[in-house]
Amino acid sequence: MAKIDGTAAPRPTPNRVVPVLAAVALVLVWLLDLGTIQPNRIVPGTGHGLVSAVGWPGAGLVSLVLIASLAVSILPLAWRYWALLVLAGLSLALLPLLLEVFAARHLPPDSPYARSSVGAGFWCLLFLLSLMLIEILGRLKAGRGVQLLVMVVIGGSWLVLLRGAGLESLSLVREFNAQPDKFAQALRAHLALAFGAVAVSAGLAVMLALKMMRSPAWQRPILGAVSFMQTIPSLAVFGLLIAPLSALSSAFPVLQELGVRGIGWAPALLALIAYSLLPMVRNTFVALTEVPESLADAGRGMGMSERQLFFQLKVPLALPVIIEGVRITTIQAIGLTAVAALIGAGGFGGFIFQGLGQSAMDLVLLGALPTIALALVADALFTLLAASLRPVPATA
Amino acid sequence: MRVWLPTVLLAALLGGLSVGMSVLEPLFAWVQPDTSRVIYERESFAFLLYNHLMLVVVSAVIGTIAAVAGGIFATRPAGRDFLPLVSQIASIGQTFPPVAVLALAVPVLGFGEAPILLALILYGLLPILRNTLAGLEGIDPAVREAALGMGMSPLQVLLRVELPLAGKVILAGIRTSVTINIATAAIGSTIGARTLGDPVIAGLVNGNTAYVLQGAILIGLLALTADSLFEALERNWDRHSGRVRPPVFR
């Protein structure tokens, strides 16, 4: 595969990024605590450095992997990036094993409340290895298939290891096991709010974009209004919606029965829709208006009606840009839904703010990490979708 | 001068309300009739506004310096190798929700102003970094060649040609960053930073809609003031560079 792009023919130049990342990782992983052991949920734990945490064999293995990736990346070999991909991918996939060894070595056997948690050294290792993987995938010019395969292998391995018995003492797993139903409920609430808002705003955005295309006088007011909405901070919008919505719900008992109140899902959904409109309207409008007039003319010449022109030419050509708008909107909505927990809308933000209130950092992580994961998954899915919908240039 | 008018008016309204919120007491008493305390008094609004503003300004200044330096490094011959990774970080990092970043800073740094400042700097850096890269990469290579051909040193090319040309795009990045950070700093109240989010959070906890409204109005005004300031700066930039650019490059 490397032969096609021609870089393999001359002597490959040494990579400078991977060695820097590997060296930084090597320093940090030796300097910082890999993990901590807590006697219970609230008491701050004692930190363990690399050697203390996983012993000399473990520390040696980690160092060896980092030094090996450093060495391979400066070797002038054509296949070095594939070797690095395997090395970095496998290390990332098996990273939770470090925590498993750590827990096995240090957890007192007779205290059911003791828990192990992840230290700064582990986070740094995870972060730098991920950067390395991104760099390697970029250099390989790896196709979507390879990227997806790598993600599935790493994600799958993490899931299997985290669900296994060896990591049961990990504080994050403890928090999850304490309330799996609540977690599932939060996931459902989060997805329903975020995707509900995206779906409603997509419908609204198409209508607004069509209105703007038909009557250009509406362009400035509509774009002005939706970007004004985007400027106001989320906390302020949630706050400002409380009074009018509670007034509405006390005036109309029907709304009250539907669950519309000053706090809860109703103001959250309204605010999320308002926020989602800007990227959605802008992208839909730009995408539909930027279809080249020459193409529309060609379509007309072939005898297409305006309706056919819209559905068979403009919409397919505009779709990747519209999907890009949906991607931005979805990521934003997933993040804002977490804030909406402050007004009682549920979702993963509930864990975050509850954890912050109780100073229970593991509960904070239980809310924050899935929120990030959701955003990353949505990002990957919509990027993939947009790429697969991009029209293939005609060969003629 | 007229471009600055909205900013001045909004700033005056913001300042006035943060000092004299009690003028609106009848309004808030109407919203929240069943309590005796209708105006948030645990901390003065002026202090909260100052603190909120300082958090945003400090993080914007540090973030801008770091992001522009990083962007310049990644587009120089010495740092070119890092360009793909840096631009990937700038785009992937922005998929991380700001609340989650804020929440993750707490286990590392504890409660208070330090974690929120770190989160604001790190998160605010990304749009500036992305726009710096876009601005510098978007310059026609011929322009750079011409400047070098005129005998400018690489440093002169950077300072007198590339940065002025990329400036507007970088400014737009700073605008995005500040908008996001004003919102994130407000949420920072939940981790113990004293910002205008305080009255909102206190109101939500105690079921006092008047508190919530006071905080929300000031946060909204602060965001609008900042936005109109950047709007004016961008317009000013257009006029300024429109006057300077033609004699230099044609």
Quote the CA–CA distance of A78 and A1 in Å, as a whole number.
Answer: 10
Determine the distance in angstroms separating the CA of B197 from the nearest CA of chain A, rounded to an integer: 7
Fold topology of A180-389: MetI-like fold (1.10.3720)
Task: Measure CB to CB from residue A361 to each of B107, B182, B190 and give the nearest one.
Answer: B107
Q: Give A372's pLDDT tier (boundaries 50, 70, 90).
A: very high
- A42 touching chain B per CB within 8 A: no
HEC string of A257-295? HCCCCCCCHHHHHHHHHHHHHHHHHHHHHHHHHCCCHHH
Q: Which of A153, A99, A160, A156 is nearest to A126 (CA)?
A: A99
CB contact under 8 A, A372 and B96: yes
CB contact under 8 A, B197 and A235: yes
Determine the distance in angstroms separating the CA of A294 from the nearest CA of chain B, rounded to an integer: 27
Chain CA centroid to CA A105, Å = 33
Determine the distance in angstroms separating the CA of A238 from the nearest CA of chain B, rounded to an integer: 8
Residue A10's pLDDT is what?
55
Determine the distance in angstroms separating the CA of A297 from the nearest CA of chain B, rounded to an integer: 32
CB contact under 8 A, B96 and A375: yes
CB contact under 8 A, A138 and B201: no
Q: Identify the residue among A16, A135, A235, A359 best suited for mutation to test binding to B, counting B beta carbons within 10 A and taking the highest.
A: A235
Report the number of distinct structural domains present in chain B: 1
Determine the distance in angstroms separating the CA of A390 from the nearest CA of chain B, rounded to an integer: 20
Q: Which residues in chain A are closer than 8 Å to B191, comparing Cβ atoms?
A: 356
HEC string of A193-240? HHHHHHHHHHHHHHHHHHHHHHCHHHHHHHHHHHHHHHHCCHHHHHHH
At a CB cut-off of 8 Å and minimum separation 6, what does B152 contact? Answer: B160, B161
Q: Which of residues 169-228 of A touch B (CB under 8 A)?
A: none
Q: Model ipTM?
A: 0.85
Q: Give A113's pLDDT tier (boundaries 50, 70, 90).
A: confident
CB contact under 8 A, B95 and A331: yes
H or E element that contains A393: none
**Mean residue pLDDT across chain A:** 86
Task: Measure CB to CB from residue B100 to each of A238, A368, A379 and give the nearest one.
Answer: A368
Locate the chain B residue with the closest alpha carbon to A327. B95
Q: Which residues in chain B are closer than 8 Å to A271, comparing Cβ atoms?
A: none
CB contact under 8 A, B190 and A353: yes
Q: Give A21's pLDDT tier (boundaries 50, 70, 90).
A: very high
Quote the CA–CA distance of B221 and B110 in Å, as a whole number.
Answer: 30
Q: Is A38 helix (H, G, I), strand (E, B) or coil?
A: strand
- A379 touching chain B per CB within 8 A: yes
H or E element that contains A48: strand A46-48
Q: Give A11's pLDDT tier (boundaries 50, 70, 90).
A: low
Residue B233's pLDDT is what?
92
Mean pLDDT along residues A10-30: 85
Which of A286 and A257 is assigned the larger pLDDT?
A286
CB contact under 8 A, A17 and B82: yes
Return the domain boundaries, chain A. 17-173, 180-389
Residue A4 has pLDDT above 60, yes or no: no
Q: Which of residues 84-123 of A touch B (CB under 8 A)?
A: 120
Determine the distance in angstroms separating the CA of B95 from the nearest CA of chain A, rounded to an integer: 6
CB contact under 8 A, B97 and A239: no
Residue A166 has pLDDT above 80, yes or no: no
H or E element that contains A125: helix A120-140
Task: Measure CB to CB from residue A356 to each of B100, B106, B220 and give the nearest one.
Answer: B106
Determine the distance in angstroms separating the CA of B100 from the nearest CA of chain A, rounded to an integer: 5
Task: Measure CB to CB from residue A235 to each of B96, B179, B186 and give the nearest one.
Answer: B186
Q: Identify the residue among B99, B222, B231 best suited for mutation to test binding to A, counting A beta carbons within 10 A and taking the highest.
A: B99
Determine the distance in angstroms separating the CA of A298 from the nearest CA of chain B, rounded to an integer: 32
The residues with which A31 forms a beta bridge, in sequence order, are none
Q: Which residues in chain B are closer than 8 Å to A231, comparing Cβ atoms?
A: 179, 223-224, 227
User: At A165, which amino acid appears?
Assistant: A
Do residues A270 and A277 touch, judged by C-beta distance below 8 A?
A: no
The residues with which A115 forms a beta bridge, in sequence order, are A38
Residue A6 has pLDDT above 50, yes or no: no
CATH number of domain containing B203? 1.10.3720.10
Residues in chain A: 396
Quote the CA–CA distance of B161 and B181 in Å, as a whole number.
Answer: 30
Determine the distance in angstroms separating the CA of A127 from the nearest CA of chain B, rounded to an integer: 11
Q: Give A394's pLDDT tier (boundaries 50, 70, 90).
A: low
Q: CA quadruple A28, A34, A38, A41: dihedral positive or negative?
A: positive
Locate the chain A residue with the closest alpha carbon to B178. A231
Locate the chain A residue with the closest alpha carbon to B221. A232
H or E element that contains A35: strand A35-38
- A366 touching chain B per CB within 8 A: no
> pLDDT by residue for chain B (250 residues), tens digit each?
788 888 999 999 998 888 888 778 888 877 777 777 778 888 889 999 999 999 999 999 999 999 999 999 999 988 888 998 998 888 888 889 998 888 888 877 778 788 889 899 998 999 999 999 999 999 999 999 999 999 999 999 999 999 999 999 999 999 999 999 999 999 988 888 889 999 999 988 888 888 888 999 999 999 999 999 999 999 888 777 654 444 333 3
CB contact under 8 A, A236 and B223: yes
Give CA separation, B160 vs B74, B167, B236, B245, in Å: 19, 11, 18, 11
Which of B25 and A191 is assigned the larger pLDDT?
A191
Quote the CA–CA distance of A242 and A342 in Å, as a whole number.
Answer: 12
Quote the CA–CA distance of A111 and A40 in Å, as a whole number.
Answer: 9
Which of A170 and B70 is assigned the larger pLDDT?
B70
CB contact under 8 A, A338 and B99: yes
Determine the distance in angstroms separating the CA of A41 from the nearest CA of chain B, rounded to an integer: 13
Mean pLDDT along residues A342-352: 89
Residue A3's pLDDT is what?
43
Out of A124-128, A248-252, A285-289, A308-312, which region has the weakest mean confidence (pLDDT)? A248-252
Helices (H) and strands (E) in chain B, counts: 11, 0
Residue B242's pLDDT is what?
55
Quote the CA–CA distance of A340 and A187 in Å, as a whole number.
Answer: 14
Q: Which of residues 138-157 of A touch B (CB under 8 A)?
A: 138-139
Q: Which residues in chain B are closer than 8 Å to A355, comparing Cβ atoms?
A: 103
- A258 touching chain B per CB within 8 A: no
Which phi and psi (to 5°) does residue A374 adopt? -60, -45
Q: Which residues in chain B are closer than 8 Å to A336, comparing Cβ atoms?
A: 97
At a CB cut-off of 8 Å and minimum separation 6, what does B249 contact? Answer: B143, B146
Q: Which of B90, B113, B93, B106 is nearest to A368 (CA)?
A: B106
CB contact under 8 A, A364 and B224: no
* Percent of all residues in chain A with a pLDDT value above 90, rounded to a whole number: 29
